[in-house]
Amino acid sequence: MRQPGAAIRLTAVYRYVMAAAQERLAAPSRPLARCPACEHDRDAADRAVQILVDDAVQARRGEMCGLCPPHLRLVSVQVNRRQAARLAEAVTEAAGQADYDAPARAALRRAARAGAPLGEYACIACRAASRSTEDGLPRLRQAGRSQPGWESLLCADHVGDLVVSVGRRQAEVILARPVEELAAGLTGHPAPPVRRPASRRRSRLRRIGGSAGCPACLAAEDAELRAVDDLRYRLRTAGRAHDGPVPLCVRHLLGLKARDPRAAQVLIPAAAAHAETLTAELDEAFGKNTWLRRHEGRGPEMSAWRCAAAFLDGHVFCGGPPGG
């Protein structure tokens, strides 16, 4: 979104994505497929991990910076103890160094905590997840080393968020012990499966692309579920169409539709109307981006691509309103 020309390109792209969203809202409910971009990222990460294992790790130590704890865990069961220790040292020295989006995510979470202006769109489930992260990571500063193992499974994004939240030096202190224990204790042993509480083993509205073992991701996911469950109860007792801004992004609304079509149907008319409005604004903005209409006056429709991004998946702006 910060790249030059992003507004023009994404306005064109979101015209097609919004049309697909309108079709899904009108179609019978079915489970959401996994995000193809996230699948591509996971495949790329798997290939990179395999390269680290196949090559002489000790000769490539300088390239290990940025390896997050979960990937260190994956590599550590496939290399010898000395190589794993070297990798662990590189991780603690460069915690979150390559995450250039972490400061932006922190700013977006602060904006989400302030809430959306009256009449402006924001997803309550994505906002609940954002607040969970904003409140949870600073507790690691207070816990220090009293909770070994908790922070060892933080995903790459949440390692970067931890660095922004508590500072690089404190983050290195927090990560040092679990990373050392990981390198020393998991080498040659298979990684244990992640166990979920029995109360949460039902159909879940997962954040696609989150790390399955990251406790910060799981806490955010549980916050999302609680927000959706509370809304679902209110919708089933309302008995009428919803007035005002739709409280869920399309991703969460489609997840709710697959789980409880009756509750989702209360929101779908308003969501479909909002999608139609955004489609018209995207079409207008697309036209004004062409050479023939370049001299026409520009208004709020030129930021419709940001509104479309927030409407389709509120996680883009960490649960807050679409920023400028």
* pLDDT tens digits along 234-264: 888 876 667 778 899 999 999 999 889 989 9
Mean pLDDT per segment of 10 residues, for the chain of length 324 residues? 90 94 89 82 82 60 57 69 66 63 88 69 89 81 49 72 82 70 52 40 34 75 93 82 82 92 90 94 94 89 93 90 72
Q: What is the tens place of the pLDDT at every residue in 7-37?
A: 999 999 999 999 999 999 998 887 777 888 8
* CA neighbor of 227 nearest in space, from 101, 112, 137, 324: 112
Contact yes or no for 268/241 (Cβ under 8 A): no
| Alpha carbon distance 54, 61 (integer Å) | 14
| Alpha carbon distance 189, 78 (integer Å) | 9
Q: What is the tens place of the pLDDT at every residue in 258-271?
A: 889 989 999 999 99
pLDDT, residue 23, reads: 93
Mapping DSSP onto H, E and C, the string for 147-179 reads: CCCCHHHCCHHHHHHHHHHHCHHHHHHHHHHHH
